[in-house]
A and B are shown apart, each in its own frame.
Chain A
Amino acid sequence: MPEQPYTTVIGLEVHVQLATQSKLFCRCSTQFGAEPNTQTCPVCTGLPGTLPVMNAHAFELSLQTAIALNCDIPGFTKWDRKQYYYPDLPKGYQISQFDLPMSDDGYLEIADPKDRFEPKRVRILRAHLEEDAGKSVHDEAAGKADSEIDLNRTGTPLLEIVSEPDMRSSLEARAFLQELKLLLTYIGVSDCNMQEGSLRVDANVNLHLEKDSEKVATPIVEIKNMNSFRAVERAIDYEAKRQYDEWQETGRRLGESPKQTRGWDDAAGVTRGQRSKEESSDYRYFPDPDLMPVTTTAEQVEAVRAALPELPAGLRQRLGDDYSLGHYDADVLVNQGRPVVDYYLTAADASGDPKLTCNWVTQEVLRELKDKEITIEQFGVSAERLAGLVKGIDSGAIPGPRGREVFTTMLADDCDAQEATSKLGIEQVDESELVALCQKLVDANPKIVADVKAGKQQAVGALIGQAKAQNPNVDPGRVREICLELAQQS
């Protein structure tokens, strides 16, 4: 990357929809995609007289996430009302957490297997639980000015995770989001589907630069409306350049203009300022008198911690320590999600050759999954059968170069490695038989022998081709070695 005259400083706010069956304060379903306003009740539509009752499961999922993010869990947390008017917010306030969030002060470690940035710890300022608002559907058809409101989403539990401004490039921001998504997927607290809004990202971006050897920061801009990790990356890159241009033009520093909110236009590839009138909000937070504070004991925190599944960072470490995998391989496997890792672990344990198993999984198996757009659970070769293939190759029963044929047959015929091998007529070629075959070829090809002797070793390739034609089970590498040796001797 070219050296820039500024450092981009990035903090992220991630809203994660928790995978509960029902909403945060009522029992309506959280299922995505239902007919508008069919998953509502008097409570989530904010009818007069209704009261919220906390969904304990949502709090449990939040605890799991916060603990996995190395956050502190205070013994006491409460609910606050964040007040603003909007038609998709039927109570006129959102139940959220203001000054005493359910967790704070954590971190998430990110690294780049391609070493484009140094591994780093991104601090988590806080993670708090809140209810989602509904959805406004603006009808922009000509002549129509009606907006419609869908309250199905109203009251869905969201965990808002706020990072410190610890990221210094869009690449780091993307790595943070990918690692966070992976972590959430491993714990199973969210489906993290960005298209369905299960994962929403806002980015706070500004620049640090130097002017007359004085360190200067530009005003912070919050970017909204980014619908993919790729969009986050592009928006940050765009915004950094835009802020640099603006800085050169205006020289305006942090604190000299109010925090601005800009929306990302993915099609146009630009951020656009939103009306300043909508930003200057005083949310008049105060504790929600309808809900009791939630207390959590150290024992409860420990119990949740103990019940957490193995997390991606620990798993990468284990794959390195116990399976001798390099960072890159471990990363590829872990990033595929727990089921692929489990598949690998089963196959590696059964084959006894973790490295070769890893090659097979990360190359052939993952290619199949990608080509056929299936999950590992739907994949036709079981981990045990893959281990059989690896073992066959290791023992020499399956010549390495024919492994892929065996694999394809296993997949096509739904059989194990042994059956595939015999179907393909693969037999181990006896060493003396191989030498005899090579001798015969050397004797029959004096021209090639002469070329080899003259130093043109690549001439031996023609003999390998002939050997394979006569017996497909021969190991080409071995044929090459023997033929070279015999040619020199003749």
Chain B
Amino acid sequence: MSLLDRSACQLLADLKAGEISSVELTQASLDRIEAADEKVGAFLQQSGRAALAAAEQIDVRRAAGEQLGILAGLPVAVKDVLCDSTTTTTCASKMLANFRPPYDSTVVAKLRSADAVLVGRTNMDEFAMGGSTENSAVQLTRNPWDLQRAPGGSSGGAAACVAAGMVPLSIGTDTGGSIRQPAGLCGVVGMKPTYGRVSRYGLVAFASSLDQVGPLARTAEDVALLLEAIAGHDPRDSTSLEEATPAYSQSVSKPLENMRIGVVKEQFATGLNSEVETAVRDAIAVYESLGATVKEVELPHSKYGVAAYYVIAPSEASSNLARYDGAHYGHRTDQAEMMAELEAERKQLSESGDQRGLDNLDTPLIRMYRRSRAEGFGPEVKRRIMLGTYALSAGYYDAYYLKALKVRRLIRQDYDKAFEDVDLIAGPVTASPAFKLGEMVDDPLAMYLVDLYTVSANLAGLPGLSMPCGFSEAGLPIGLQLQAPPLKEQRLLKAAHMYQQTTDWHTRRPPET
């Protein structure tokens, strides 16, 4: 059995006991990446040498009896959207292919101060826009359970590398389900914390009011450990909550009593794959067997969630991505080519006597913006920039953006009401197990609907967790989603841990890699 079959908590105990060294563990992780990632494609970049050097440092400090951080010596993968001053942060975009941030994101800094060993940067949909990781401008990531299938997204690399046993811990980001959905499709545990629980400073923004950083791992205990390392108030993020960070890793193993679980009827209506429905209902039955009572709750406005989300998220994105204009950093179009193009156009217009065309011809600056952005962004990013620009335009703002904000408020009110009667809401993460690569690339709308069960938690700012609760006949993992009121991450973790104590889905390993 490989070192990496052990949980992060187990490995931490083994490291503390001196049974293994961080160098050994890191080497095992790098070896596994080396062996499996050619097929999976989870990593955009690995920092092998730096990781081993960091691991060695930690081993030395441990031997010297120094007090170490809570992740001391554990390999952690980071989604390539969180700034790290030691390497590039590309967001899987051509636009930022060579961008080296001069500063660390708060999450990366916290991982370092927790003595984590950062082994590499994981693949994602470009700028976290997508649900399959197919929008990466760099490479495909494959689902370790079936290499013909997508790992989900946008944190596809983050989920796949855990599922394939390359690292025990991984950091993702979730704007509309981007941690929970790939976790569900790859059979790992992933959590989107309450909005504001984890600092967004240094997280390259997609949709600022929805983005949240979160942990992925194979067990609830491991997720608790990683969340404890990254959570906490950050004065550099105005939307960060001034809440003390609970000792998640300590409390996760204390079971919940008199648990009241809410089930939303509409989530089991048409469109839900029957194998998924069965697995999710079975999981709820497991909770009943553990003493939980189950109650039906209503989230009447959630059916508008995807529509509201695809107004709000692109609107914010259109603004957040305006900075990539080629002027200051990132991709800039070839100047000589651009000037030649302009000159050719000018010549043509002037020969045809088109004075109006000449008057409207781009200045070199405008043409530089246009070309740089046209070349630097992929089609999905462009699609969302256009959607958002449209929604925020004069005359449309009220009908789209403002309306979407109203829906958002109603969705939150629905949750507040539902949580008066229940502690958690349980349901599916996705309507079906992992889909085939390429299956939806030509149908963006179908791809948007993949977020159906997950976007509401982002719109409402609530914590949500996804964990494996069964497998399809074809051997694909099925995810269970748990949602809780704001700041109740502990409740989610405890509930997930209770489930994993009773079931063994999380112990299964993909066959192919």
Contacts and interface: CB of A to CB of B under 8 A. Distances in A.
Interface of A: 42, 45-54, 81, 83, 85, 87, 90-93, 145, 149, 277, 282, 284-286, 289-292
Given A48-B101, A92-B325, 7 more contacts: A47-B102, A50-B103, A87-B327, A92-B321, A285-B392, A290-B238, A291-B239
Nearest to A276: B359
A83 B319 contact: yes
Interface string B81-107: 011000001010000100101110100
B238 A292 contact: yes
Interface in B181-212: 200-205, 207-209
A90 B328 contact: yes
A292 B103 CA distance: 24
9 contacts: A42-B102, A48-B101, A51-B200, A81-B319, A83-B319, A92-B321, A284-B392, A289-B207, A290-B208
A137 to B, nearest CB: 14
B204 A48 contact: yes
Contacts of B208: 289-290
B48 to A, nearest CB: 25
Contacts of A51: 200-201, 236-239
7 A-B pairs with least C-beta separation:
A92-B322, A289-B209, A289-B208, A284-B392, A48-B204, A49-B202, A87-B327
Contact of A49 (B82, B315, B318, B397): B82
A93 B83 CA distance: 21
B49 interface: no
A290 B325 contact: no
A90 B323 CA distance: 6
Nearest to B388: A284
A292 B240 CA distance: 10
A47 B236 CA distance: 14
Nearest to B210: A289
Contacts of A54: 238
A286 B322 contact: no
Interface in B98-140: 99, 101-103, 105
A286 B315 contact: yes
Given A286-B392, A289-B208, A42 B322 contact: no
Contacts of B321: 92
Nearest to A282: B394
A92 B201 contact: no
A51 B393 CA distance: 24
Contacts of A291: 238-239
Nearest to B322: A92
Contacts of B365: 87
A139 to B, nearest CB: 14
A349 B394 CA distance: 61
Interface string B202-237: 111101110000000000000000000000000111
Nearest to A87: B327
A383 B205 CA distance: 60
Contacts of B207: 289
A93 B369 CA distance: 15
A134 to B, nearest CB: 10
Given A47-B103, A49-B203, A83 B316 contact: no
B204 A290 contact: no
Most buried by B among A48, A51, A286, A292: A48
Nearest to A52: B238
Interface string B57-97: 00000000000000000000000001100000101000010
Nearest to B237: A51
A92 B328 CA distance: 11
A81 B201 CA distance: 19
B238 A53 contact: yes
A87 B329 CA distance: 11
Given A51-B200, A54-B238, A284-B393, A85 B102 contact: no
B496 to A, nearest CB: 29
B103 A42 contact: yes
A81 B315 CA distance: 12
Given A47-B329, A48-B99, A286-B397, A53 B323 contact: no
B389 interface: yes
A149 to B, nearest CB: 8
A225 to B, nearest CB: 20
Contacts of B328: 45-46, 87, 90, 149
Contact of B369 (A85, A145, A284): A85
A284 B238 contact: no
Contacts of A83: 319, 322, 392
Contacts of B96: 48
Contacts of B319: 81, 83, 92-93, 284, 286
Contacts of B203: 49
B401 interface: yes
A45 B101 CA distance: 12
A289 B206 CA distance: 11
B401 A286 contact: yes
B210 to A, nearest CB: 8
A49 B401 contact: no
A308 B322 CA distance: 41
A36 to B, nearest CB: 14
A198 B140 CA distance: 52
A469 B420 CA distance: 104
B238 A48 contact: no
Contacts of B329: 47
A282 B82 CA distance: 32
A277 B363 CA distance: 11
Contacts of B204: 48-49
B409 to A, nearest CB: 13
A286 B394 CA distance: 11
B201 A48 contact: no
B235 A53 contact: yes
Contacts of B102: 42, 47
Contacts of A52: 238
Nearest to B96: A48
A34 to B, nearest CB: 19
A229 to B, nearest CB: 33
Contacts of B393: 282, 284
B430 to A, nearest CB: 27
A282 B394 CA distance: 6
B236 A46 contact: no
A83 B91 CA distance: 23
Nearest to B326: A87
Contact of B323 (A48, A149, A286, A292): A48
Contacts of B200: 49, 51
Contacts of B235: 53
B159 to A, nearest CB: 22
Contacts of A286: 315, 319, 392, 397, 401
A151 to B, nearest CB: 9
Contacts of A282: 393-394
Contacts of A91: 322-323
A55 to B, nearest CB: 12
A49 B394 contact: no
A92 B205 CA distance: 14
Given A81-B319, A92-B319, A284-B392, A49 B205 contact: yes
B377 to A, nearest CB: 13
A238 B204 CA distance: 49
A85 B325 contact: yes
B83 A49 contact: yes
A121 B319 CA distance: 40
B238 A42 contact: no
A45 to B, nearest CB: 7
Contacts of A92: 319, 321-323, 325
Contacts of B315: 286
Contacts of A87: 325, 327-328, 365
Contacts of A85: 322, 325, 366, 369
Interface string B303-322: 00000000000011011011
A54 B203 CA distance: 19
B322 A93 contact: yes
